[in-house]
Amino acid sequence: MREMTIDIGDRELFVAETGDGPPVLLLHGGGPGASGVSNYTRNIDALARRYRVIVPDLPGYGRSTKGVDGNDPFGDLADAVRRLLDELDLESAHLVGNSYGGAAALRLALDTPDRVERMVLMGPGGIGTTRALPTRGLNKLLSYYGGEGPSRLKLEKFIRQYLVFNAAEIPDSVIDERYQASIDPEVVAAPPLRRPTGPNAVRTLWRMDFTRDQRLDRLPVPTLVLWGADDRVNRPSGGQALADRLPNCDLYLVANTGHWVQFERADLFNRLCTEFLAGPR
């Protein structure tokens, strides 16, 4: 796997890349300590058999520049990914996004649909977020850096109780790695995923709810939505909400699975993703 740091203008993104074929960007979730390769550790090799797999650390995470625009986080992430496409001389690419990364992918597709060939979304953020109270899992995620601050115990409880269906699936090494990444002083000083506050908080929340965006009804990008039936962070009903609005959307609800479809059901995810991305635009 090739590793590089790419300057996208106002910041730098760490990127890992492997494989040959049509380009596919894998966009990771926004949990504490997340990064691109760690989020897709069970998927990269399988997808690289047919695709050029590009795995960035999103702004605020891993080895990329820290900090995300709190007034429009989805837009800021989408802009960073679009600039990455520019720097890689890619007119368009497939996007695969989990949670926060799914929201970034969807926002990029809505803003510039010509840059996205096909899109796979796993439990994306921003689906009906202003129409119901946040889930308990999302509240735990957003409060990780609050109160007494981050701790390994707090992170372990979140991952094992809310992120996955079967806690035994998560080895201690995953908790340890993510905890160490989550306490990077730059991240603690400016967490990349937090509850909007201040005078623009309501406007930010509305901007982060895709169900209020009329462009959803005419987005031409073929989309596959994968959602764990036992997702305790983002409600599985969001999958049907997307299928009802997007004109070219397939929906697969995955039984006995939480928020990490690509990790918990890696074989299923790899097969569905590989086959779906091979279709025409």
Catalytic (active-site) positions: 259
* Separation of alpha carbons 51 and 180, rounded Å: 31
Number of Cβ within a 10 Å radius of residue 272: 18
Burial label for 217, CB within 10 Å (0-12, 13-18, 19+), is exposed
Sign of CA dihedral 57, 30, 41, 187: positive
Quote the distance between the C-alpha of residue 236 and its chain's center: 15
Token digits for 183?
Answer: 């306490």
Can you read off the two tokens belonging to residue 44?
Answer: 């990269």
